[in-house]
A and B are shown apart, each in its own frame.
Chain A
Amino acid sequence: MMFDYFTDFALVLFYTLRDVLPILVLIIFFQLVVLKQPIPHLKRVTLGGVYVVLGLALFLMGLEKALFPVGNIMATQLSDPSFIGVTGAELANWKSYYWIYIFAAMIGFSTTIAEPSLIAVAIKAGEVSGGTIKPWGLRITVAIGVAFALAVGTFRIVTGTPLFVYIMVGYIIVIIQTFFAPKKLIALAYDSGGVTTSTVTVPIVAALGLGLSSAVPGRNPAVDGFGLIAFASLFPIIAVLGYAQFMSIKNRIIKN
C-alpha cells in the first residue's frame, strides 16, 4: 500500500518534471548564452522552483485520488437515465436535467476557486493594483462566471443547440462591455478567461461534457461533447467586466 503511493508519486513527479523541462532549458539558455549574468537570489529562486514542482506533483496526485474519481462517478450518476427518470431512447425534456445544471454550476465554481493559475494571476493583480483589486474578489467573480458558463454549457449539450451561436453572442456581449467598462480592468478581464481552465477544471469539465453527451439520447459525443471549456473561458470575461462596471457605477452614485 505505502509502496503503491510511493511509485504513484514518483511517476507524477516525473511527468511534472518533464513538463517543466522545456521552460528550465529556455531560462538557463537565456541566462548563460544571451543575458550572460547570474540570476539574482539564485538560491531562493531555485528553492522556489523545487517547491513549485513538488507542490504541483502532490496537487495532481491528490486530485487523481480524491476529486477526479468522485467527479466522474457523480457526472455519470447524475446523467444516468434512471436517475433523471426517462426511459430508453425517449427524448427527455431539458427541464428533467436540472440536477446536472446545478451540479455543473457548483463544480465549476468550486474548482475555479482552487485553480492554481487563477490564484497566481489574482495575487499578481492584487500586488500591481496596490491593493485596490482584492485577490479573493477577483477569484469569486471569475468563479461565478465559470458557474454560469457550465450551467449554460450543459443546457446546450442537453438541447443540442449549435455551439457557435452561443459563442458569437458571448463575443458580442464582451465587445459591447469593453466600450463601457473602466479601461484599467480590461486587460485583467481578458486574461481571466484563459486562466480559469487548467489543472483542476479541465479534466472534470471534459468528463462531464463527454459523459453527458453520451448519456443524453440523440447527442453525439464527437460533436456535442466539446464546447464546455470554450464557455468556461468566455463567461469569466463577461463576469469580470460586468463587476468592474458595476463597481464604477456604484462609486459614481456614492460620490454624487
Chain B
Amino acid sequence: MKYKLYSLIILKKLWASVTDLIPIIVVVVFFQTAVIQQPFPQIGEVIFGILLVIVGLMLFIEGLEMGLFPIGESMAFALAKKGSLFWLMVFSFLLGFSTTVAEPALIAVAKEASVISSGAGLIENNQETMETYAMGLRLTVAFSVGLAIVIGVLRILKGWPLHYLIIGGYVMVMLMTIIAPEEIIGLAYDAGGVTTSTITVPLVTALGVGLATVIKGRSPLLDGFGLIAFASLLPMIFVMAYGLFWF
C-alpha cells in the first residue's frame, strides 16, 4: 500500500517534469519534420537524452524544496538573529563572489572576450596578456556580483525602494555605454545575463525572502525579491569600466 502511494507520487512528479519539457520537444520535432525536412540525427541518443533531462529536472526540483530553499532560509534567519551586520555582509559578498568566479559560462565568455579584444588590436596579442585580461575580467564580474548581493541585502535591511536603485543603475549603464569602448559593449550587456547560475538563484532568492520575512516591517514579496536584479545589473557597469581601464 505504502509503495503504491510512493510510486504514485513519483509518477506525478515525473509527469510535472514532462510538461516542463513538452514545449522544447514540440519545437524541435516541428522544425525537423516540417521546415528542415530531414531525418533526426541519432534518434536513439536524443530520446535517451530527453529521459535524462526529465529525471534530472525532477530530482533538482525535489532537492530544491528539500535542501536549497531551507538552507538559504535557515542561514538568513540565523544571520539575522546573530545581529552582526559585518558577518551578514561578508556572507552576502562571498555568496556572490565565490559562486560567480568559477562559473563555467563566465570562464567561456572571458576567454572569448580576450580573443576578440586581441584580434581587434585592443590588447597585445600574446598569451600572457590575454590570460591576464581574461582573469581580470572574471574577477571583475565576480566582484561586481558580490557587491550586488551586498547592496541588495543592505536594501532589504534599510528598506530602500528598489526601483530608484535599479533605475539609477540603468542610468549608469547608459552613461557608461556612451564612454566605454565600442568593442566591449555587447560583451558587457551579455555579462549581466550569464552570472546567475542554477544553484545560486535559489539560494540567493531564499536568502532575500528569508531576511525580508524576519526583519520587522519588510514584506517578503515587496522586499525579498530583487537580489538577482542587482546581480544582473552591476556586472554590466563593471565590465564597461574594465574596458575603459584597459583600452
Contacts and interface: CB of A to CB of B under 8 A. Distances in A.
A55 B60 contact: yes
A191 B225 contact: yes
B218 to A, nearest CB: 11
Interface stretch (B2-10, B124-132, B197-205): B197-205
A194 B36 CA distance: 33
B68 to A, nearest CB: 6
Given A41-B70, A49-B68, A171-B170, A22 B102 contact: yes
17 contacts: A19-B103, A31-B75, A45-B70, A48-B63, A51-B67, A55-B57, A55-B58, A58-B55, A62-B51, A62-B52, A62-B56, A67-B49, A111-B24, A178-B167, A187-B221, A187-B224, A229-B190
B231 A78 contact: no
Contacts of A19: 99, 102-104, 197, 199
B186 interface: yes
A187 B189 contact: no
B199 A15 contact: no
Interface string A28-66: 001100110101110011111111111111111111111
A129 to B, nearest CB: 5
A230 interface: yes
A74 interface: yes
A160 interface: no
A194 B196 contact: yes
A35 B225 contact: no
Contacts of A63: 49, 53
Nearest to B117: A222
Contact of B226 (A73, A99, A187): A187
Contact of B201 (A45, A47, A55, A198): A198
Contacts of A187: 162, 221-226, 229
A7 to B, nearest CB: 15
A136 B108 CA distance: 32
A237 to B, nearest CB: 8
Contacts of B228: 121, 190-191, 193-195
B41 interface: yes
B70 A163 contact: no
B99 A23 contact: yes
B226 A163 contact: no
Interface string A141-169: 00100000000000000000001100110
Contacts of A199: 197-198
Contacts of B95: 23, 26
A226 B243 CA distance: 16
A53 B68 CA distance: 11
Contact of A175 (B50, B105, B167): B167
Contact of A39 (B24, B66, B74): B74
Contacts of B47: 66
Interface in B76-110: 78-79, 82, 87, 91, 94-95, 98-99, 101-105
B52 A58 contact: yes
Interface of A: 15, 18-20, 22-23, 25-27, 30-31, 34-35, 37, 39-41, 44-67, 69-71, 73-74, 77-78, 83, 99, 103, 106-107, 109-111, 113-114, 116-117, 119-121, 123-125, 128-129, 143, 163-164, 167-168, 171, 174-175, 178, 183-184, 186-188, 190-191, 193-199, 202, 222-230, 232-233
Given A26-B94, A113-B20, A233-B193, A106 B221 contact: no
Given A22-B99, A120-B202, A199-B198, A51 B63 contact: yes
B224 to A, nearest CB: 6
A229 B239 CA distance: 15
Given A18-B102, A232-B193, A233-B192, A175 B51 contact: no
B224 A128 contact: yes
Contact of B91 (A26, A50, A66, A164): A26
A171 B49 contact: no
A196 B195 CA distance: 11
B102 A110 contact: no
Nearest to A48: B67
Given A171-B173, A194-B193, A113 B23 contact: yes
A25 B94 CA distance: 11
A228 B67 CA distance: 33
B244 to A, nearest CB: 15
